Amino acid sequence: MSTESAPAPTSTAEAPWPVRTVARKIGDWIHRLGSVWVEGQVTQVNSRPNTQTAFLTLRDPSADVSMSVTCPNWLIREMEPPLREGASVVVHAKPSFFFGRGTISLRADQIRAVGIGELLARIERLKKLLTAEGLFSAQRKRPIPFLPKGVGLITGRASAAERDVLVNAQTRWPHVRFKVLNTAVQGSQAVPQIMRALRILDADPDIDVIVIARGGGSVEDLLPFSDEALCRAVSATGTPVVSAIGHEPDTPLLDYVADLRCSTPTDASKRIVPDVREESERVRQMRDRGRRALHGWVDTQARLLTQLRSRPSLADPLGPVQRRQDDVDVHRERARRAMLTLLAKDQAEIASARARLTALGPAATLERGYAVVQFLDSAGNLQVLRSVSEVEAGAQLRVRVGDGAITAVAEGEQA
């Protein structure tokens, strides 16, 4: 008779379930699940010749999630081509719970390698989706700085791509500063590590451009650079991103979403920094052009000044003034003579008019002297004598004489 007591309907702090009960309930629930098709990337293969069971580890290439898979050993041995780490597979399996260890795994009865054609078809479908969303639009591309103060480099550790980028860039511009973050560039760890490095470099204010570089490889090797999560992460960065993946024919989706696509890592080093020799030569040429332009301008202005100075108005600037002054003197003398002539004429006319007025006026007569003769008429009235005939013989006359200075009144004698 079993000593195990029946579990309580529910667990409480006063009546908890034992571990075996919880494990059995979880196992019962998992075992009721049906078989599923699972896609992932193989990160570990453990298949020993003398064992019946092979062990695999499947990882999601877009997330840090993995699961254990068990399968018959013959299933691994019969696969063509042989299953290797990093391969993308589709597994038909049933979830299984190991009661003693409390772990979950997948028990596989079919394993299918994802072929190149299928991988390319998936990449093409993803490409159309991202194109429709506008992630590849040219309007979203950001310009690469002419001379970045800092360059972030994401690449494999001690890889040829890292050496090509660093050596060529520093040869072109010795003062360029790099911040290198080494990550996996293939396999299941590549996408999460690259995305983490991308976040670090994008948050660094001293980094003006980020380069993601990798050498050439097969379609499976370059598969992480066509991952949807990585493409969206690159699209969301605020720092311009340069893609330098593989060789010229290799075109992962990262090339389309990046702000600048370079055919090789060496090409990327030429595109992110200028060549100091070329720029020095360009500066020298521009300096020569500027000097020639300035000399040409100065020569033109000098010729213009010479032409201006040769003109009469500038060759003898006081001559016209002197001539105008002579003209002014001549006209002033003419005006003076004309004015004097006019004044003399007017003065002569005034003198003549004054003489006539003097001769005809009473003042002249008064100046010469005058006499006023009065007489008594027959009626005894005093009259002024105008004519001798007016006076009768024996009449008494009264004479007033004036000479301009003396006035006297005297009685005249008989006429």
Q: What is the mean pLDDT of each run of 10 residues along the chain (415 residues)?
A: 49 83 85 85 83 86 80 85 79 86 87 72 84 90 90 90 90 90 85 92 93 82 86 92 83 90 89 89 93 94 86 76 87 92 92 83 68 73 73 68 48 41
User: Where does residue 158 fall: left (phi above 0), alpha (psi -120 to 50 degrees), or beta otherwise?
Assistant: left
Residue 286 in tokens: 């521009």
Nearest CA-CA partner of 374 in 403, 391, 399, 395: 399
b/e 160-175 (16+ beta carbons within 10 angstroms → b): ebbebbbebbeebbee
Give the span between the Cα atoms of 352 and 196, in whole angstroms. Answer: 126
Q: Which of 172, 164, 168 is nearest to 216 (CA)?
A: 164
320 token code pair? 């016209």
> What is the CA angle 202-225-180, rounded to 5?
40
- The whole-number pLDDT of residue 221 equals 77
Task: Tally the C-alpha atoms within 13 A of residue 365's C-alpha that lie toward its C-beta.
Answer: 8
Site of tokens 């013959």: 74
- Which one-letter amino acid corresponds to residue 285? Q
Cis peptide before 81, with omega less than 30 degrees from 0?
A: yes
pLDDT attached to residue 116 = 66
Token couple for 385: 């004598």
The answer to whether 201 touches 179, Cβ cutoff 8 Å, is yes
Q: What span, in angstroms and rounded, lies between the C-alpha atoms of 153 and 212?
A: 6
Instruction: Say what the pLDDT of residue 4 is.
Output: 45
Contact criterion met (CB below 8 Å) for 214 and 246: yes
Tell me what pLDDT residue 395 has: 66
What was the pLDDT predicted at 414?
Answer: 40
CA 225, 229, 257: angle at the middle one, nearest 5? 60
Six token digits for residue 210: 């980020």
